[in-house]
Chains A and B, each alone.
Chain A
Amino acid sequence: MNAGLPLRDPAARGRATALIVALVVLWPLLVVAEFKPAALFDAQNLRVTGNFLAAFLPPEAGREFLGFLARATLETLAIATAGITLALLLAVPLALLTTRVLAVAEIGPGPGQGRAAILHHGLRVLLTVLRGIPELVWALLFVRVFGLGPAAGVLALGLTYGGMLAKVYAEILESGDTKPARAILEAGGGRLQAFLYGLLPGNAQELTSYTVYRWECAVRASVVMGFVGAGGLGQLMDQAMKMLNGGEASTILLAFLALVLAADAFSGLLRRQLAAAGLRHRHAGVGPAGGGVIAALAAVVLASFLFLDLGFAALLTRESAQLIGEFLGAFLTPDLTPVWLGKVAYGMLETLAISAIGTLLAVAAGFACALPASGRLGRYAGQSSRFVLNALRSVPELVWATLTALSVGLGPFAGVLALALHTTGVLGRLFAETLENAPPAPHDALRDAGARPLAVFLYGTLPEIAPQCAAYALYRWEMSIRMAAILGFVGAGGLGQLLYFELSLFHHAQAGTVIAAMLLLSLLADAASARLRRGMAAG
């Protein structure tokens, strides 16, 4: 008997093979993403980054600049609020028209069923297009149409989030108790009645909670849209980063972190209150307190619109509607010549590579941070790593990209790092939660049987958390694909760089092809991740 044998890792060979296969598959992606970690430690790059970061201190605190900053912060909040309001106006009717629960045609054959099915299908396609094109691209298009300022951001948010809210609203309505609505419909009630009396009472809390969460996302998104000139903090950040003005950049970053964390906390508080209120009284109606909240909300929305002074009236004249139509129409005849298609295909591949490598790095780094963050390595390590994770995730990918482009030069690798940094923050937190919730029994049993700590982790904990962590990673990869498509706006490779260039030169046919490619990527990511998740749920 070989004495060493019992200590050999029985799964080592399988795991090693899997690792090698993964590396072989990954190799071409690493090449496309120009993955060169050495660039991080290049003396010149270190000097450039060092000088810039050194200029972060002291943060700019001049009175004039702080005035700009305060205005930009308000503008960001107002854009998010007005954008969500617009999204709601769009999403509510679309959700009511597309949800299966309210489809009379689902009840049985009747006159006009074919037409209804076509309408249904058409609207679902519309929703996919609305949310499949990133808000940044909408913003860039609208900046052209409206010219200048926040109107473009508000409309872009309204469209993308309108599509997103409508889809999720429809799903929420379908996942709840659908019998009351069905009963009303079958008794001859109208769709609106079925919604108001059959669906809304049971789903109001979840619908509101999701809307509040989306508002929080909109705050982050409206910062990002500033980078294409749609107003707010992002526009200020873009200028500071372009001029490499470290003092201004650090002040803006601080304001931005404070804003995101505050929005985060406010939205969390609001959602907890909603959940508590939902438990307390299950009857319909808003009550006096609810009335007060609605009045306050209306005041905030009104203030946002007034503050932004959007001038949508310009849209309402026939002439400008025609001009806008002409402008958007130019994108509908995409350039399909083989040379251009080849270039766009490479852009897609680059975008995919950036997202895949970035997410993988984030999985590794997220895991490394999750171990201390879950409290396994002591309280002090837990708190500090949770702080790091929060900071990482508060800064959007696009802002990270402006920083990583300095440390490794412009190009796809900067995009990879930017995605990895933000996603590490998100995944680290999710992984830590999963670790905290993992059943302790297998871990304890192995430890008590005398296994070494590494073996305890590999065989007691890892199998318990792996499926959940993999699901999170896939979900984030899907988001990263969409994000990688636009990182090019700040010079971090992929489709975004192509789009920015072609749009600048009024090459609308070429830009149309790039936008179609972005939409295609988004659809593929949607389908692939849904399939993988179903597969994992079944397995």
Chain B
Amino acid sequence: MNHTLRRLALKGALLFALAPALAGNLSAQENTLRVSAIPDEAPTELQRKFAPLGKYLEKETGMKVVFTPVSDYAAVVESLATKKLDLAWLGGFTYVQAKIRTQGTTAGTAIPIVQREEDAKFTSKFITADPTIKSFADLKGRSFAFGSPSSTSGHLMPRYFLQQANLSPDRDFRNVAFSGAHDATVAFVAAGKADAGVLNASVWDKLVETKKVDTDKVRVFATTPPYFDYNWTVRGDLDPVIVKKLTDAFLKLDPKNPEHAEIMALQRASKFIPSKKENYDGIEQAAKAAGLLK
């Protein structure tokens, strides 16, 4: 008798416990735009940057905008493919990965809609706190920090340009570390955890402007040639009407409008321009050459 009671009690409790969890997402809100961004900076910083843009997009599309911060680049790509996201801010390389990952799936091939004008001629900065490092050649036998392995400006393109200069990180550096994010790379180099590192020019400029980095100690010793980077990408099977609204909303942003100016300052954009997938063919080739894309 007691056993039966106990069993019933346990079963009931479990069902009870699971029911809300199971029901939670069934009400998959039709009118919600789910947005995320690759975590190339600290997730709290990304959230802060997105807040006014989210409000603006809410107004322009009439949809509820939900931003979910992530701590893993690949999770953003995977979420586009599994239809858990509608709009995502991707790097050039993550866009290529997303394109390859979603080709021929029910989610439809991911589409880049807009990018900042700055993204069409993006660069990376090589930094060090060590006075003896003055050029690529001085990096031999030293420890080096990239950002995330999936980062375009923090890993792929710097690696590609290092290879062009006949330096192989795996062979020539004493130790290769992945800090995970651009601001973390600066922290690594400033603290001496790595002898040198590389990060995207835009984040470097921001850290210098806001005095988050001591430029007497950490300095730039090389800059890459320009390449295409970041864009805003939508899921391939998103309703074209919504895609059009989103594209227009971005293109309409005008720095002369004070409300827009705040959004654009946080996004570090002077202007948004239309993007297309061909912009990223160069990145795809570089990724293949660097052995990061098989």
Interface residues of chain A, those whose CB is within 8 Å of chain B, are 44, 47-48, 51-52, 85, 89, 143-149, 196-197, 200, 228-229, 235, 238-239, 242-244, 284-286, 290-291, 294-295, 297-298, 301-302, 304-306, 308-314, 316, 319-320, 323-324, 327, 405-406, 409-411, 491, 500-501, 503-507
CB distance from B148 to the nearest CB of A (A): 7
Which residue of B is nearest A316, CB measured?
B22
* A507–B294 touching, CB < 8 Å: yes
Partner of B24, one of A145, A310, A320, A500: A310
Write out, one digit per residue, whether chain B residues 2-23 have a CB within 8 A of any chain A CB (1) or not (0).
Answer: 1101110110111011101111
Residues of A contacting B22 in the complex (Cβ-Cβ under 8 angstroms):
312-313, 316
Residues of B contacting A504 in the complex (Cβ-Cβ under 8 angstroms):
72-74, 148-150
* A305–B21 touching, CB < 8 Å: yes
Residues of B contacting A242 in the complex (Cβ-Cβ under 8 angstroms):
179-181, 184, 187
Which residue of B is nearest A140, CB measured?
B72
Choose among B3, B70, B72 the residue with the greatest number of A CB atoms under 10 Å from its CB: B72
* A297–B149 touching, CB < 8 Å: no
Partner of B193, one of A148, A290, A311, A406: A406
CB distance from B121 to the nearest CB of A (A): 26
Known: A238-B71, A313-B26, A410-B143. A200 touches B3 (CB 8 A): yes
> How far, in whole Å, are A242 and B193 apart by their CA atoms in the complex?
11
CB distance from A451 to the nearest CB of B (A): 51
* B23–A148 touching, CB < 8 Å: no
Which residue of A is nearest B150, CB measured?
A504
> How far, in whole Å, are A228 and B181 apart by their CA atoms in the complex?
14
Interface residues of chain B, those whose CB is within 8 Å of chain A, are 1-3, 5-7, 9-10, 12-14, 16-18, 20-26, 28, 36, 42-44, 68-79, 81-85, 97, 100-101, 105-106, 143, 148-150, 175, 177-181, 183-184, 187-188, 191-193, 292-294
> How far, in whole Å, are A238 and B70 apart by their CA atoms in the complex?
13
Can you report 26 residue pairs joining A to B where beta carbons are below 8 Å apart?
A48-B191, A51-B191, A52-B191, A147-B68, A196-B3, A200-B3, A229-B72, A239-B42, A243-B42, A243-B184, A285-B3, A286-B6, A294-B10, A297-B13, A301-B14, A306-B21, A311-B24, A311-B25, A313-B24, A313-B26, A314-B25, A319-B106, A491-B177, A501-B178, A504-B148, A505-B149
> How far, in whole Å, are A330 and B145 apart by their CA atoms in the complex?
30
Partner of B74, one of A301, A311, A319, A503: A503
* A228–B72 touching, CB < 8 Å: yes
Known: A143-B75, A147-B68, A239-B43. A314 touches B3 (CB 8 A): no
* A244–B187 touching, CB < 8 Å: yes
**11 extra A-B contacts, CB within 8 A, seeds A239-B71, A285-B2, A410-B177:** A48-B192, A144-B78, A242-B180, A242-B184, A244-B191, A295-B13, A309-B24, A411-B175, A504-B74, A505-B97, A506-B74
Residues of B contacting A290 in the complex (Cβ-Cβ under 8 angstroms):
6
CB distance from B290 to the nearest CB of A (A): 10
Residues of B contacting A243 in the complex (Cβ-Cβ under 8 angstroms):
42, 183-184, 187
Residues of B contacting A309 in the complex (Cβ-Cβ under 8 angstroms):
21, 24
* B72–A312 touching, CB < 8 Å: no
Partner of A313, one of B25, B84, B106, B143: B25
Residues of B contacting A507 in the complex (Cβ-Cβ under 8 angstroms):
294
